[in-house]
Copies of this chain bind each other. A is one copy, B any other.
Amino acid sequence: MCANAEPLAVPFRRAHPSVSQGPAPRSLAIGLIGPGQVGQAFLRQVRAAQGTLRRTRGVDLHMVAALGRQRMWWDVDDAQWQAAPDRTQVWRPSDPVAFLDHVQASGSQAVLVDCSASDAVPDQYAHWLHRGIHVVTPNKRAGSGPLHRWEAIQAASRHGGHFRYEATVGAGLPVVQTLRDLLDTGDDLHTIEGMLSGTLAWLCYHHDGSHPFSEWVRQAHTLGYTEPDPRDDLSGMDVARKLVILAREAGWALSLNDVQVESLVPSELANVEKEMFFKRLPELDAAMADRLAQADAQGGVLRHVASLDPQGRARVRLQVVPADHAFAHSRQTDNVVQFTTRRYADNPLVIQGPGAGADVTAAGIFADVLRLVDRPSPMA
């Protein structure tokens, strides 16, 4: 494969396989930041799909490097990868500057995929974009963090690399791109309503009065459906972050503290130790039983809903939805997002499916990465 590779001045630059027929493939060098569960899944997906993509789409993807907090690797070709799946012999101490230079030098187009949950990495996005490097991320921090940082990133992306973040909302579900298409084609957004937490969807789905709410929380925790500390789900803050991302996409200069968030965690339990929280979990039950009874009385069902209204008001709360509402039929841990617009006024546009998990999140990242290269070649 490397027989035709020219000697290159740039150190560590990978030889691209020669293409015997057809136009030169569109090539993209990928640097992964945060090789955790999602990062690893993305890496596996790229390695598995790259042969087919080269053949069928003329797209040449190269995983050139991965950067962790303590260590990194680069230039591990497919053969080495197969031979050393745990990569113990390829790691070297982390050096973010060298990592970045290496990724950029590895192709005429490069993308950094930020799979960290760090708030410090997004501080670099604007800089990278200015350098012409694309950024793709499932990290919600940029989209829901400080507005001035978000605006700097957006400004940089207009003049340099592209910034994509489909996987921040609904993982692999096509939510952000669909919203962008609606707006770019001149539709007017009326409302966005979403069930954006698989955990809270599951809890609402099961909480039917047969058992106290706290038991469902414990079961969800045991099944691995919640964060290690379930308050990270119950607080609604993760959902609020997703809503801020969608609201900004829709043109509203919102921040997290503009969202009216109803936490399911009573304030007196918000700051106790995790063990104490689990012990006192039944303190949630009476209020939740009341809410359920209210929903029953109205002939509806209780759902955890994020909404953005036409005035840009963003809310995250338990809500009674009518029995014929799309949210009433949600399945298990499904996410559901519903866009009501001028064109989709009577019946909204609805996207539904699993909205969390390493594989579908990685697929959302991967689709964003493909959008960077799945583009026309210049006219003949």
Contact = CB atoms under 8 A, between A and B. Distances in A.
A130 interface: yes
Contacts of A326: 329, 352
B380 A58 contact: no
A112 interface: no
Contacts of A186: 45, 48-49, 52, 363, 366
A271 interface: no
Contact of A162 (B45, B349, B376): B376
Interface in A144-187: 158-162, 172-174, 177-178, 181-182, 184-187
A38 interface: no
A158 B363 contact: no
A378 B108 contact: yes
Given A185-B49, A350-B352, A363 B343 contact: yes
Interface string A337-380: 00000011011111111100001101100110011101111111
A307 interface: no
B22 A159 contact: yes
Contacts of A177: 174, 177
Q: How large is the interface on A (under 10, 10 to 19, 20 to 34, 35 or more residues)?
A: 35 or more
A174 B185 CA distance: 14
Contacts of A334: 347
Interface of A: 22-23, 45, 48-49, 52-53, 57-58, 104, 108-110, 130-134, 158-162, 172-174, 177-178, 181-182, 184-187, 324, 326, 329, 331-334, 343-344, 346-354, 359-360, 362-363, 366-367, 370-372, 374-380
A367 B184 contact: yes
Contacts of A182: 363
Nearest to A334: B347
A29 to B, nearest CB: 10
Contacts of A57: 184
